[in-house]
Structure 1
Amino acid sequence: MNKKEILELRKTFRPEECNISRIATCYVTSEKEKILEKSQAFLSLPEEEAFKYFDILKQALSGTVGKNLYTLKTNSIHPADESTQKLETLRKYHMNDEGMLTDLFDSIIGSYDSSENYLIIVVNGLYDIPGVTSDDQELEDASDEVYSYILTCICPVELDEPGLSIDCTKPAILDKERDWMVKNPVNALLYPAFTDRATDIHHALYFAKKAENSQDDFLKELIGSEMMLSDKEEHEWFLDTLNHAHEEQMPLETAKEIHTKLVEKSLEKENLPSAGMLSKKELLQVIDKELNADQVKDIDEDYDKTVGKENDITIKNLVNPKKMVIQTGTAKVEIDSDYADMVETKRIDGRLYLAVPLTSNDILVDGCAVRTEALSD
């Protein structure tokens, strides 16, 4: 899913656009004990309570694609796989079966790793997808499809901050009684995905407030997803892969070319459902002409083992699309990606220099405008 599709769904989490039919909640302790389980029609909630749920649901579709929001493949194409059946069945019956909800809660509790109390929130929405014109203007009464989805949120439950309160009836200053408060979600799962503004049972959208908290068992249980790497792990894998691909150090020209091609891919995919992500095939296409056949084969095999054959990788974890960073023992130079191909090395009077062509005579040192002898001549 891309940013535009995610924002379209987020806009429905408000009273005037609400398409949520049912909501179910389950309060769980850090010892995996269920304290409360409840299901009801969303429109039966008091107005103030509904507003608070809207805020939580919006947070579940917030963040950056490829950093907090990931489009993951599901095992829906394998009928024998039970991983997506619970969500698919709940979606089919619009969460009206209490036994199925209990089964889902038990699956989540058994697979979700948490050292604190948390609240599971599950909602079913029925979004009557409006038609749009070529300039993205909505058309009234032009719906082609109703998108039915299940959104599952995991929200920590914590004691609020200690403090003092004033009791005006006595009057007195008292120690404030602390309440258990439901916080914004740390993980969420939208099934099925809303791809190309249509139902996509082969993908789900996963939210992780912190990328390193990927909750692999939870994902495998609900959608059969393979393990994910954290942002840091993806970055380290890519660096190690390139370093090991060369018996000696990689030529500067090769490094520049790979950086430039990855930036171009990022721009090409900006408004696509796979925005910010690269498949294994796309990554291999980027490096294919820069490495020899044996090196590409090694990276292909290592990708399957480390990243996962069916998993995509985040472009921003491989390179910074905005700049190329060059480090030496004595300096660190940041080059705008648009000019990365202009950087070169030169040998002058027997010494090797990193050469960065100047695109103007404006030079700043610690923010101060300066001139050099070369420019003044």
Structure 2
Amino acid sequence: MNKSDVTKFKKFIDNDNNFFTVNNVLTAVINKDVVYCTEKRSWISYSQSEQEEIVSIIKKVLTGKIGKVLTEYEFPITPEKKNVSQELLMNMKISQFEDDDLNEIFINKIKDGVKTDGAYTVLSVNFTISVYDKNADHSDEVSFVVTAFCPIKLRIDGFIYNDESNTVEKKTSTDRILEQASDGFMFPTFTDRQEDVNHVMYFSKNAGKPNVGIIENVLGCKYIMSSEQQKTHFWGMVANVLGEDLNYDMIVNINEKLSDLVQASEGLKEAREIDCADIQHILEKCDVPKDKLDDFGKIYDKVMSSRYSSFIAANVCDEKVNIKFGNSSLKIDYKKAATALDVQMVNGRKCLVFPLDSAEISVLGIDTSVNHSLNV
């Protein structure tokens, strides 16, 4: 699923949409290795406010940047061996949570495979959307399973308004609040208005700390490095090979080539991946000598294993170049970074100079002008 696919799909997720029907909701509270309760309920048994909250959770699991917060995983399948997790999800999708034995297997798989610091609630929703096929002039009913993992936090402090006594007083009761989903997934994916049962979309609120247990143990997929890890590995390898040649202009040039690649691939169904050959080609276009290109290939093979064979291009570049110097920092569009900045000696000090097209600037959102007598 690309950005367009996700955006179009989320438009279906609306309780007032006649093409969207929730069949059943499966919930469970899990703390470490214990399942405290499991419940399957029909959609009509929930109040309207509860339904609205559940719909918002579904949308949350489908919100975020593709390749960072949202990552599409392919189920690894061989002719000799089926993917057990994919089979289970397919059966859950078809049964619409009406099979109690399947529900128990699903929840126990989560209990055994997911490790967290505290208690959490599994909220799994089985819903159907009607997809109109204009070529066949009819609608197809497609079922989906969206599962959210919501941490449970104890709320025991703070003041409340007591409407019975009409006073503001210390809160004395203990509430166990379900926080926003920290992780989740949707099966199957939805590409070009068609279901794709060979892929699953994984959501992680913290792109830098995905729950590997969900990806590998529950979904049965091969974990892909987080966006932060990819960026660290990528630039670490580049710095290792280029050494002192990795100056300001080179960094901006590489980032620009990567950003151009991302923009050129925005219409693709999946996030654009880059492997060793792609990176070597980018470095070659940045005039990196051939001997260093060969060195990069050796380091790539050493650092990257079969588990991590490629990077997602959008994860290793930035739209803005963040420049830090001393206790200060400057963020600038990468297209302007190579030409807009200059290093000059001002009053005997080396300074980073940023030319202004006019004296009008904005400070803390307030339009103002630069004092021409201000020393740099």
TM-score calculated relative to the size of structure 2: 0.79
1:134 counterpart residue number? none
Q: Is the 2:113–2:213 contact (alpha carbons within 8 Å) kept by the matching residues of 1?
A: yes
Q: Matches of 1:14 and 1:23 in 2, distance apart? A: 16
Q: Matches of 1:83 and 1:107 in 2, distance apart? A: 9
Q: 1:216 aligns with which of 209, 212, 216?
A: 212
1:180 counterpart residue number? 176
The reply on whether 1:228 has 2:230 as its aligned counterpart is no
Q: Matches of 2:372 and 2:132 in 1, distance apart? A: 59
Q: Is the 1:343–1:354 contact (alpha carbons within 8 Å) kept by the matching residues of 2?
A: no
Q: Matches of 1:205 and 1:102 in 2, distance apart? A: 23
Code of the aligned partner of 1:187: D
2:41 counterpart residue number? 40
Q: Matches of 2:253 and 2:192 in 1, distance apart? A: 32
Q: 1:101 aligns with which of 97, 100, 103?
A: 103
2:92 counterpart residue number? 90
Code of the aligned partner of 1:92: I
1:76-101, Cα deviation, whole Å (9 max, x unpaired): 56643323221122223333321111
In structure 2, do the counterparts of structure 1 residues 103 and 365 end up closer, same or farther at CA, with 3 Å as the change threshold?
closer
Q: Matches of 1:171 and 1:251 in 2, distance apart? A: 63
2:298 counterpart residue number? 298
The reply on whether 1:151 has 2:146 as its aligned counterpart is yes
- How far 1:240 sits from its partner (Å)? 0.9
The reply on whether 1:268 has 2:268 as its aligned counterpart is no
- How far 1:243 sits from its partner (Å)? 0.8
Q: Which aligned pairs between 1:104-123 and structure 2 lie closer than 5 A? A: 104-123=106-125
2:127 counterpart residue number? 125
SS of equivalent to 1:246: helix
1:278 counterpart residue number? 273
- How far 1:103 sits from its partner (Å)? 0.8
Code of the aligned partner of 1:107: K
Code of the aligned partner of 1:198: Q
- How far 1:12 sits from its partner (Å)? 2.8
Code of the aligned partner of 2:151: P
SS of equivalent to 1:15: coil
Code of the aligned partner of 2:316: L
1:123-149, Cα deviation, whole Å (9 max, x unpaired): 222222235xxxxxxx79955644332
- How far 1:335 sits from its partner (Å)? 4.2
1:319 counterpart residue number? 317
Code of the aligned partner of 2:41: Q
| More displaced stretch, 224-233 vs 332-341 | 332-341
Q: Matches of 2:50 and 2:339 in 1, distance apart? A: 57
Q: Is the 2:128–2:141 contact (alpha carbons within 8 Å) kept by the matching residues of 1?
A: yes
Extract unaligned runs of 5+ from structure 2.
none
2:56 counterpart residue number? 55
- How far 1:39 sits from its partner (Å)? 1.7
Q: Matches of 1:318 and 1:306 in 2, distance apart? A: 19
Code of the aligned partner of 2:262: S
Count of residue pairs the alignment pairs up: 359
Q: Matches of 1:35 and 1:262 in 2, distance apart? A: 48
Q: Is the 2:261–2:313 contact (alpha carbons within 8 Å) kept by the matching residues of 1?
A: no
Q: Is the 2:155–2:175 contact (alpha carbons within 8 Å) kept by the matching residues of 1?
A: yes
Q: Matches of 2:14 and 2:87 in 1, distance apart? A: 29
Q: 1:250 aligns with which of 228, 246, 252?
A: 246
TM-score calculated relative to the size of structure 1: 0.79
The reply on whether 1:8 has 2:3 as its aligned counterpart is no
- How far 1:169 sits from its partner (Å)? 7.7
Extract unaligned runs of 5+ from structure 1.
132-138, 373-377
Q: Matches of 2:362 and 2:306 in 1, distance apart? A: 43
1:269-311, Cα deviation, whole Å (9 max, x unpaired): 3343335x534365454335444341342354246329712x6
Code of the aligned partner of 1:278: E
Q: Matches of 1:165 and 1:365 in 2, distance apart? A: 42
Q: Matches of 2:228 and 2:335 in 1, distance apart? A: 25
- How far 1:371 sits from its partner (Å)? 5.6
In structure 2, do the counterparts of structure 1 residues 308 and 256 end up closer, same or farther at CA, with 3 Å as the change threshold?
same
